[in-house]
Each structure stands twice: as C-alpha cells, then as structure tokens.
Amino acid sequence: MKKAGIIMIIGSLLLLGLFKFPLWNIMLGAPQYPDPLGMDIYIQGIEGVEEFDIQNIDGLNHYIGMKTIPKVEDMWEFQVFPMVIGIMVALGVIIGLLGFFGKVSYKWFLGWFILMSILGVMGMYDFNLWLIEYGTDLDPKAIMKLENLDGTPMTYKPPLIGYQKMLNFDVDSWPATGAYMIFVGMLLTVVAFFVGKKESQKVS
C-alpha cells in the first residue's frame, strides 16, 4: 500500500496551502469602482485584496449600517480554524505513513475524508451564518434604510457562492486558491482510498 500512502500524505499536505492562500474571495464592483474592492478570507483572518480595501468597504458599509469587517480578535473562528486544519493535516500524514508501512487499512483514508467533509460542511455553515449576521444585523441609525418592494427592510447578505447584484454593487463570491487546494487534496485522499483498496486486493 506504498503508493496509496504517498497519495494520502500528499493529499493531506495540500491543506497546508490554507495557511498561505485565501480560502474565499469576495469582490465588490460598482460604477464608481472600476477597480473593484475585494476581500480575501483566510482561515486566520480577512484581508483586503488591495492595501486599503477593508477600510474602504467599511467606509461604504457604514451608509447602510453594516458592522465593520471583523478583525482577527473579533471571531473565534480565526483561532480555531487553523488548529483544526493543523490537526487534520497531522492526522492525514500519520494515517498515510501508517498506511505506507501497512499498519492501518485503506479504510482509514476514507475515514479521514469523511471527517474532513463533515468539518468542511460545518465550516461552510458557520461562514454562511456569519454572512447572514453581517448582512442583516444593521445599525438602526443607519444613514440609508432601504426597503424591498414588499416593504420589508433590505438586507445585504453577500452570496455564499456566486454572483449577486446588491444596490449599485456587483458582488462576486467565489472559492479562492486555498479552497481549490483543499478540494484537490481531499480528492487525492479518495484516490488514495481506491488505490489502497486495489493494492491490498493484489496482496490478498
């Protein structure tokens, strides 16, 4: 099961990319912003695509009463996510090594994948909750209080994934490099599972 073990190790190591590359990216373009403002969401915090983008997004958002974009210390997620990813990488590498030396079954690879998938879905769910809160918990003294056609107060939750027109802004929310690295990494662990299965069938 040497090949499967190596693939498993490579797959889980790819998750380390999250410490370097953003997981998600939200871009805000408008007629007055031909160069759109943007934020890169990392597991350790949120950064502007350009140096002053966060400040400028906050500046615009204050008109509609949105809270400022959270700093690292404002959200527990930015402490916990890096730990979870770190643990999962270590776990994946250990499982891979054990698999390489034939100490554990290939089923462990799938087990890691399922655990990671659950964590991933939980992460996305949490992210969406934040987007909802961020887009709907508005300052009652907001400068502009807009209503939908049906009379309900307008809210500003950016899309979890995809494109949405919000007032004068074109909002694009898409996975970024880090997310693609997780995707490929997790895919590799599934490949490791099947390769391992094949390798162990050959042995038996």
Partner 1 sequence: MKKSINILFSLVIAAGLVGCNNGNDRKSSKAQGGLASNAAERVYVAPGELDEYYAFMSGGFSGQLSVYGLPSGRMLKVLPVFSQNPENGYGYTEETKPMLNTSYGFVPWDDSHHPDISQTNGELDGRWIFINGNNTPRIARIGLQNFKTEEIIEIPNSAGNHSSSFITENTEYVVAGTRFSVPIPQKDMPINEYKGNFKGSLTFISVDQETGRMGIKFQLIMPGFNYDLSHPGRDKSHGWFFFTTYNTEEAHSLLEVNASQNDKDFIAAINWKKIEEYVNNGGGKMVPANYAHNIMDEHTHIATSTMLKEVLTVNPMDVPGAVYFLPTPKSPHGCDVDPTGEYIIGNGKLSADLTVHSFTKMLDAIENKKFDGEAYGIPILNFEDILAGVVKQPGLGPLHTEFDEKGNAYTTFFISSEVVKWKVGTWEVLDRQPVFYSVGHGMIPGGNSRKPFGKYFVALNKITKDRYLPTGPELTQSAQLFDITGDKMELLLDFPTIGEPHYAAAIPADLIAKNSRKIYKLAENKHPYASLSPADAKVVRDGKNVHIYMNMIRSHFNPDNIEGVKVGDKVYFHITNLEQDFDVPHGFAVIGANNAEMLIMPGATETLVWEPKQVGVWPFYCTDFCSALHQEMQGYVRVSPADSNIELSWSLGED
**At 9, which helix (H) or strand (E)?**
helix 2-13
Determine the size of the site formed for partner 1 (CB under 8 A).
9
Closest CA to 146 of 42, 64, 43, 47: 64
Q: Which stretch binds partner 1 (CB under 8 A): 14-22, 49-57, 90-98, 125-133?
A: 49-57
Tell me: does residue 51 bind partner 1 (CB under 8 A): yes
Q: Least distance in Å: CB of 143 to partner 1? A: 7
Tell me: does residue 52 bind partner 1 (CB under 8 A): yes
Q: Which of 21, 47, 49, 56 lies at the binding interface for partner 1 (CB under 8 A)?
A: 56
Separation of first and last alpha carbons in the chain: 12
Closest CA to 86 of 170, 15, 162: 15
Unique residue bearing structure tokens 């049906």: 150
- Residue 165, amino acid: K
Tell me: does residue 31 bind partner 1 (CB under 8 A): no
Round to whole Å and give the CA distance between 48 and 40: 6
Q: Least distance in Å: CB of 31 to partner 1? A: 12
**DSSP symbol at 70:** P
User: Which region holds residue 162: left if phi is over 0, alpha if psi is between -120 and 50, else beta?
Assistant: left
C-beta separation of 116 from 88 below 8 A: yes
Q: Which stretch binds partner 1 (CB under 8 A): 51-59, 74-82, 106-114, 192-200?
A: 51-59
Binding residues among 106-145 for partner 1 as defined by CB under 8 A: 143-144
Binding residues among 145-204 for partner 1 as defined by CB under 8 A: none
Q: Which stretch binds partner 1 (CB under 8 A): 53-61, 78-86, 107-115, 124-132?
A: 53-61
Q: Which stretch binds partner 1 (CB under 8 A): 52-60, 82-90, 95-103, 170-178?
A: 52-60
Which C-beta is closer to partner 1: that of 35 or that of 147?
35
Tell me: does residue 73 bind partner 1 (CB under 8 A): no
Q: Least distance in Å: CB of 52 to partner 1? A: 4
C-beta separation of 89 from 15 below 8 A: yes
Tell me: does residue 59 bind partner 1 (CB under 8 A): yes
Burial tier of 71 (Cβ tally within 10 Å: 0-12, 13-18, 19+): exposed
Which residues lie near partner 1 (CB under 8 A)?
A: 35, 51-52, 55-56, 59, 63, 143-144
